[in-house]
Amino acid sequence: MARFSCMARIMLFFFLLICSSAALAQRGNLLQRIPGASGGGGGGGPFKDSLLHRTGLEDSITIAFRYLDTARFSFIDSTVNDYSRRWHLPWQHIFLGNTGSASRSLLFSPNMKSGWDHGMHAYDAYIPKIEETKFYNTTRPYTELSYVLGAKAEQSIGVLHTQNIRYNWNFAFNFRLINAPGVFRNQKTNHTNLHFNTWYTSPKKRYTVFFIAANNKIGATENGGIKSKDFLDSLPFFQERFSIPTNLGGSSATSNNIFKQESNVINTGNRYTVANFLLRQHYDLGKKDSIVVNDSTTVYLFHPRFRFQHTAQLSRYTFQYYDKNVDAEGYFNLYGLTNMPAEFGLKDYWQTFTNEAAIYTFPDIKNPLQFLKAAAGYQQLSADFGSIEPSFSNIYLNGEYRNKTRNRKWDMELSGNFYLAGFNSGDYDVQAYLKRLIGQKLGYLTLGFRNVNRTPSFIHDDRSNFKKLNLGNTNFKKENTTIASAVYELPQQRLKLGANYFLAANYIYFKNYSQAEQEATLFNVLQLQLEKQFRIGRHWNWYVEAYLQQPTANAPVNLPLLFTRNRFAFEGKFFKTLNLSTGLELRYHTPYKADGYSPVLGQFFLQNSVTINNLPDAAAYLQFRIRSLSLYLRAENLNTFQLGSFTGFLNNNMAAPLYPTPGYFLRFGIYWGFVN
């Protein structure tokens, strides 16, 4: 962890610098806005120039955000009818029995990243993506605090603060902590995310700079699953689920107090660290303009014709599995390993540095959301595997055309990325996207196509320390995956229909705890999607989300045929300020052979011997918002209740073979946003 002490100091320095500058900034500057949003990653804001003078709204707040690769602004979602938008995992994911444990989507989602890839993705859902960083623009300093308390001392804490230092300079700071001891033995998790970003646009709109610094630490105890599913029915001996023996981790107890040092110690499990620094800056050439508001105030406008952009990104990855007290029997049962040492560990360290130069041109000076981009980049990769420290490099080309017409009837994107030389030579990613407004009463139709050719992830390379346990083949060809998609949306009827057709060649998968395999036969997966809101009363709504998935015969993937979520909700706005949603949520998938999990490698693997046949996950919820305060109360896993000799919430569902989900779980969350 010593490698990251320097990064923590840098982030602290930037945070203190920004805060001190904000304290000196004149309050009047906070009311000035950047007029107009420029395209293709340019600077800009969504607010009108009239805010440059007194409007009577100076004590209210208007807050919007944009992402790094788009100039479109969005506003913070204040709805309360879908808690999954607030939670760490999307509703399509399953996790291995404890908040913060390894997770995966129940929808077919192959790796679609060309170029270098480390291959460790079981905890991706808990690591915010750089491309999803929100760059805010706000008229007043804004802070949001969140606290979620669950059973067994599970806690999640979040802090978000953003403010404009001046009208053309904003910063945001985001912190998140997940600490969950777990219901079963040896499954505690402790994750932290620290994220800082800022962006600045010069007063005359020619120069814009973005900066991101993020550090993510993942800590997850791995128990290898319970030793036998039969223990769940061995009552009253194992009525307390924590007493069920597990394959890894031994019989030691765990702390439920996040402020005790031992609660953060991972004696047997995975410790991942992912750090990212990104600096993007661009300078525009074009046509300048201005608006005189009064004798002392002039608003400068700028319409870009050409843009020169530079992006530098430094990323560091540490992936470590470590067992301080080896249980030899568990490793033999799972991996067939004998003569295990008293302590066991595997560790890979990576550092990547990417430099990219790009040129944009804007064909229509009145439409900054239409542009053509050409770029070239150089990537330097270095690794530390203990005994060896290899280094690699890549040279790639990138091109993109994007256009959202001013009448909002067409939205299109064409892009391609090709690795010209280096370690990932021959990798490419091409995609096309087209969205068309058919009519105000007929809705939208979206068509998409994507093809990715990629080098196998480095976990399959003999030089990786994890390959010491990954005993499968290493002579893998490049994977090639194609997705053709179509989506029809009818907003007036709250209806969405979609279809994805996947075509996979040379697909790589794990076939057991320690062996990878490549499927030489071409196979396909058809995925159909339905989303619909039914109004069944004045305040009663029924939300349906459903997926049908069908792979070809003998495909190396096992998927539930039907996967659906239904929410029956009483909701509406009452007493002017109360936004309420309460009801029942059901999530169900048809029986299927769920993937197993290899804790040492951090990989889900294909298995064909155990069928998972679960009852629908059932949760009752009460969620409401009063002004800027949102409260969530959820009673989850009601489906585990059983009557008989031993009455209680003891009929656990299974997330994967040997990995049961918790019984009854009560979770309370509070989210409070306020203006400073």
pLDDT digits (tens, 9 = 90+) for 209-236: 999 999 999 999 999 999 999 999 888 8
For residue range 636-675, list pLDDT tens digits in order.
Answer: 999 999 988 888 999 999 999 999 999 999 999 999 998 8
- Which uninterrupted H or E stretch holds 529? strand 523-535
- How many helices (H) and strands (E) the chain has is answered by 2, 35
Has residue 54 got a pLDDT over 80? Answer: no
pLDDT number for residue 21 = 40
Across 3-17, 126-140, 455-469, least confident range? 3-17
Could you say which DSSP state residue 614 is in? P
**Residue 36: pLDDT band by 50, 70, 90 thresholds?**
very low
Has residue 270 got a pLDDT over 50? Answer: yes
Residue 396 is encoded by which pair of tokens? Answer: 């790639």
Residue 138 is encoded by which pair of tokens? Answer: 């706000």
Q: How far apart are the first and last CA of the chain?
A: 35
pLDDT number for residue 252 = 61
pLDDT number for residue 369 = 86
Residue-level length of the chain: 676
pLDDT number for residue 531 = 97
Across 34-48, 132-146, 235-249, 390-404, least confident range? 34-48
3-state SS record for 170-204: EEEEEEEEEEECCCCCCCCEEEEEEEEEEEEECCC
What are the φ/ψ torsions at residue 525 (nearest 5 degrees)? Answer: -135, 130
pLDDT number for residue 239 = 86
Alpha-carbon radius of gyration of the chain: 26
Site of tokens 């003078």: 53
pLDDT number for residue 292 = 73
What are the φ/ψ torsions at residue 458 (nearest 5 degrees)? Answer: -70, -15
**Partner residues linked to 164 by β-bridges:** 170
Instruction: Give the CA angle between residues 587, 107, 565 to the nearest 5°.
Output: 20
Q: Are 133 and 160 in contact (CB under 8 A)?
A: no
Has residue 429 got a pLDDT over 80? Answer: yes
Has residue 144 got a pLDDT over 90? Answer: yes
Tell me the residue type at 201: T
Percent of the chain with pLDDT over 70: 88
**Is pLDDT larger for residue 25 or for residue 505?**
505
pLDDT number for residue 264 = 66
For residue range 556-606, list pLDDT tens digits in order.
Answer: 999 999 999 999 999 999 988 899 999 999 999 999 999 999 999 999 999
Has residue 515 got a pLDDT over 50? Answer: yes
pLDDT number for residue 70 = 83
Site of tokens 């802090």: 159
Burial 433-445 (b: 16+ CB within 10 A, else e): bebebeeeeebbe
Contacts of 52 (CB under 8 A, 6+ apart): 31, 32, 33, 293, 297, 299
d(CA 479, CA 221): 32
pLDDT number for residue 263 = 54
Is the backbone peptide bond immediately before 236 cis, with ω within 30 degrees of 0?
A: yes
Q: Are 660 and 652 in contact (CB under 8 A)?
A: yes
pLDDT number for residue 558 = 96
Mean per-residue pLDDT over the chain, rounded: 88
**Residue 262: pLDDT band by 50, 70, 90 thresholds?**
low
For residue range 359-404, list pLDDT tens digits in order.
Answer: 999 998 878 889 999 999 999 999 999 888 999 999 999 999 999 8
Domains of the chain, with CATH numbers?
2-261+275-334+386-675 (2.40.170.20)
Q: Are 45 and 37 in contact (CB under 8 A)?
A: yes
pTM, full prediction: 0.88
Ramachandran assignment for 596, one of left (phi > 0), alpha (psi -120 to 50 degrees), beta (any other): beta
Tell me the residue type at 68: L
By three-state DSSP, how is residue 588 classified? strand
